[in-house]
Structure 1
Amino acid sequence: MPLPFLTADRAHDDDAAAGADPLGYEDRDRWRRPYRPGPWRVGGAALLLLLASYVLFSTMIIAVAGSLPAAGICAAVAALMIVTAVRLVRIGVEVSAQGLRRIGLVRSTTVRWQDIAAIRTVQQPVRWLGLPRTVQGQAVLLEPVRGGAPETMFTTHGADFLGHAESFERAADAIEGWAAAHR
């Protein structure tokens, strides 16, 4: 099964090495993530899938023991864990010619390029792995045309870029490039 959201960064590296388009994609209408999911995000999803396998195994044991309602509940919990793991890997930012899409665990928001005043990288206190603890780091901010507070798209201390400053810089440059090309 192809997983295009895992190969986005490699496609960007191949095009940059060949001297091609700095944005790195031929089909600009397709939604793409300009960076790979980080090891913290992938590790969390793998751990959740491991736990789901244990729950599925217990579902089988419960079903063989003859308690089908309890087995159904266990199967539903395992399915919820699998869906959560897939969504956990999909969390991030995607770009296309239409705009910028921020995918969260439960919901996604899409902003058209015309509705974005600026995308910039700033030095500021950021949350460490999404927890309440803050540390000094960099964040990519989206400033909407209609005004209001800028939205943080991703940070150096998020699950995708913790300990990978070079990947953060490449992703920030790619998103700023998409914004400059489509505004």
Structure 2
Amino acid sequence: MPLPFLTAERTFETASESALPYDDPERWRRPYRPGPWRVGAAALGLLLASFMLFAAVLIALSGSLSSSGFSSAAVALGLGLAVVAGALRLLRMGVWVSGRGLRRVGFLVTRTVPWARVLSVRTVQQPVRFVGLPRTVQGQALALARKDRRAEGTAPLLTTHDLDFLGRPAAFDRAADTVEAWAAEHRRG
């Protein structure tokens, strides 16, 4: 069964090829693969969830039909399903593009910016958060400048030290170039 959120879309290699080589530019797509740290964390979450769901089945089968056995199994089942949902959301996190705009999917919040409100998307050298923690390190970030907001208040779209690009600077460069090309293509049109 193909998992479309795990596959990267085809990148362009030559300058003559369009940044939008897709039949359906209105479909949301992530122009890069999720990094090994993100996939590994989601896999560990799914492994934990499998144990929790197995525990829920065991509690339900071994317990009597009393309300306490049923409620314990229901709690274990609910927690297991919550961990599965969290792992899948972790895999969906990142930057997505389409003909309609640019979408930044976070763990709890998703924000979409139409291309008409995008001034520029560019790579800058700046202090970035290390794997989303409060600690900052020097790195590169893909910054979004919007027409309706100052640049100081916006978080970077991608950084060299997030879960997708940690230890993979070439992958960051490819992803940043692809998102910049989508922005340039739609600002022209």
TM over 0.5: yes
* Number of aligned residue pairs: 179
1:7-156 alignment to 2 at 5 Å?
A: 7-9=7-9, 11-12=10-11, 16=13, 20-66=17-63, 67-148=69-150, 149=152, 150-156=154-160
Identity of aligned residues (%): 51
Give the match's secondary structure for 1:6: coil
Which of structures 1 and 2 has the bigger CA Rg? 2
Whole-angstrom CA distance in 2 between matches of 1:129 and 1:151: 14
Cα RMSD (Å) of the superposition?
Answer: 1.5
Q: Which moved more, 1:23-32 or 1:112-121?
A: 23-32
Report the structure, 1 or 2, having the larger helix content: 1
Whole-angstrom CA distance in 1 between matches of 2:180 and 2:20: 10
Give the match's secondary structure for 1:120: strand
Whole-angstrom CA distance in 2 between matches of 1:168 and 1:83: 27
Unaligned runs of 5+ in 1: none
Query: 1:147 deviation in Å?
Result: 3.2
CA contact (8 A) 1:126 1:136 kept: yes
Unaligned runs of 5+ in 2: 64-68
What TM-score results when the alignment is normalised by the length of structure 1? 0.92
What TM-score results when the alignment is normalised by the length of structure 2? 0.89
Whole-angstrom CA distance in 2 between matches of 1:154 and 1:103: 11
Q: What do the CA deviations read for 1:52-92 (whole angstroms, capped 9, x no partner)?
A: 01111111111112111100010000000000000000000
Whole-angstrom CA distance in 2 between matches of 1:139 and 1:132: 16
- The residue type equivalent to 1:68 in the other structure is F
Give the match's secondary structure for 2:73: helix
CA contact (8 A) 2:56 2:76 kept: yes
Whole-angstrom CA distance in 1 between matches of 2:140 and 2:5: 23
Whole-angstrom CA distance in 2 between matches of 1:22 and 1:132: 34
